[in-house]
């Protein structure tokens, strides 16, 4: 009978299969808890990803460390073949599906990671008693702490609850239907973009009066709103597909989604860029589409008004913004 499961969340290791300081700190805490509570069994998490460039799954390295510290083999359950925290949670959920006696989940992670872990495991393990244990952080964790804040916001924004009535049977029928819905809304969103470009081209060729241009700008804005609504609906369907894939451990075509590709150096850490990522749902397509819409509208305005008129309108708009919003 196994009533208590200890979840050892992985961190990183290098190509020489050496655990990073945060991973080792978590593993040491796991050893202490396992020695204090002889009825606990542990599930290490993690396989391959940016956190592991070696040829050995990260969970296997954690298992080796636990064994080297005197933890018996029969107390270490099979590690999860997962690559992020959400996958870790669902991987553990699948691992204990055949252990109905499990009532208590004990999760080990680091301080900088704790808030996101509490959110994810709290949502995934409803009905279980969950205890969290905090390992010491390695030094210079400021950047990771800031990054975790935005990862938590993204997780909250994208979280989808899936009714896991039977984890042994993948819901193929519903997943297939979601695939049709995703393609439907995704394709129509591109038609909205085409409509905006056609409106721009027609307006530039046939309209010269300001009132006509204003009407054309209004039409382009309507197409942009239509595009955003269709794209967000497609994105919502895709999130449900990803949640099903993650929960049931089945990779799918939606894992190839386009993400916001600004991930280098300190630029990706700045608040403006992180806010843009969240605003555009981490989608470079929506970001570029919105930028193109603004260019189209700007082109029509320049086509209809003189430079002096544009400057005057811009100054008036800035004054209005300053009075009412600052």
What pLDDT sits at residue 167? 66
Residues 124, 184, single domain; the answer is no
Residues 2, 102: Cα–Cα separation, whole Å: 6
Using pLDDT thresholds of 50, 70 and 90, give the confidence band for residue 287: low
What pLDDT sits at residue 316? 54
* Between 266 and 238, residue with greater pLDDT: 238
Query: Would the pLDDT of 326 be above 50?
Result: no
Mean pLDDT for the chain overall: 76
276 class by beta-carbon count within 10 Å (0-12 exposed, 13-18 middle, 19+ buried): middle
* Between 65 and 296, residue with greater pLDDT: 65
Structural domain including 199 reads 172-254+286-325
Stretch 272-299: mean pLDDT: 59
Answer whether residue 277 is part of any domain.
no
- Of 126, 158, 190, which closes a domain? 158
Q: In the beta sheet, which residues pair with residue 110?
A: 135
At residue 293, the 3 state secondary structure works out as: helix
Residues 45, 112, single domain; the answer is yes
Cα angle at 153 between 5 and 279, to 5 degrees?
A: 150
Residues 196, 232: Cα–Cα separation, whole Å: 18
- Of 129, 158, 187, which closes a domain? 158
Residues 126, 199, single domain; the answer is no
SS3 letters for 234-292? HHHHHHHHHHHHHHHCCCCHHHHCCCCCCCCCHHHHCHHHHHHHHHCCCCHHHHHHHHH
**Which tokens in the block code for residue 275?**
């806010």
Answer whether residue 269 is part of any domain.
no
Comparing C-alpha atoms, which of 75, 128, 79, 121 is closest to residue 101? Answer: 128
Express as a percent the part of the chain with pLDDT over 90: 22
Residues 161, 319: Cα–Cα separation, whole Å: 45
What pLDDT sits at residue 182? 79
Query: Would the pLDDT of 312 be above 80?
Result: no
Comparing C-alpha atoms, which of 300, 282, 280 is closest to residue 290? Answer: 280
* Between 251 and 179, residue with greater pLDDT: 179
Answer whether residue 164 is part of any domain.
no
Residues 105, 152, single domain; the answer is yes
Query: Would the pLDDT of 317 be above 60?
Result: no
Residues 138, 230, single domain; the answer is no
* Number of domains into which the chain is organized: 2
Residues 99, 234, single domain; the answer is no
CATH number for the domain that contains residue 70: 3.40.50.620
Query: Would the pLDDT of 25 be above 80?
Result: yes
Answer whether residue 275 is part of any domain.
no
What pLDDT sits at residue 162? 63
- Of 158, 183, 211, which closes a domain? 158
Answer whether residue 84 is part of any domain.
yes
Query: Would the pLDDT of 261 be above 60?
Result: no
Query: Would the pLDDT of 34 be above 50?
Result: yes
């Amino acid at each position: 009978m196994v009533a208590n499961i200890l979840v050892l969340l992985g961190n990183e290791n290098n190509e020489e299969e050496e655990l990073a300081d945060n991973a080792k700190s978590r593993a040491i805490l796991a050893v202490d808890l396992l020695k204090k509570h002889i009825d606990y069994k542990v599930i290490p998490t993690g396989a391959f990803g940016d956190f592991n460039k070696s040829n050995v799954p990260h969970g296997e390295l954690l298992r080796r460390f636990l064994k080297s510290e005197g933890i018996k083999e029969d107390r270490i359950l099979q590690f999860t073949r997962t690559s992020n925290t959400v996958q870790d949670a669902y991987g553990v959920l699948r691992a204990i599906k055949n252990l109905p006696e499990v009532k208590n989940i004990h999760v080990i992670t680091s301080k900088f990671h704790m808030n996101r872990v509490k959110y994810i495991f709290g949502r995934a393990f409803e009905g279980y008693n969950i205890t969290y244990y905090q390992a010491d952080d390695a030094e210079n964790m400021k950047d990771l702490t800031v990054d975790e804040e935005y990862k938590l916001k993204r997780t909250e924004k994208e979280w989808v609850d899936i009714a896991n009535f039977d984890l042994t049977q993948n819901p193929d029928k519903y997943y297939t239907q979601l695939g049709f819905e995703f393609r439907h809304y995704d394709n129509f969103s591109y038609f909205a973009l085409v409509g905006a470009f056609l409106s721009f081209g027609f307006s530039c060729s046939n309209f010269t009066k300001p009132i006509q241009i204003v009407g054309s700008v209004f039409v382009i804005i309507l197409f942009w709103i239509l595009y955003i609504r269709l794209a967000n609906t497609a994105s919502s369907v895709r999130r449900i597909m990803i949640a099903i894939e993650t929960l049931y451990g089945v990779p799918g075509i939606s894992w190839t989604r386009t993400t916001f590709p600004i991930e280098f150096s300190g630029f990706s850490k700045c608040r403006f860029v992180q806010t843009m990522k969240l605003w555009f749902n981490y989608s470079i397509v929506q970001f570029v589409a919105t930028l193109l819409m603004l260019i189209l509208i700007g082109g029509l305005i320049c086509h209809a008004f003189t430079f002096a008129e544009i400057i005057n309108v811009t100054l008036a708009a800035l004054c209005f913004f300053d009075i009412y919003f600052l």
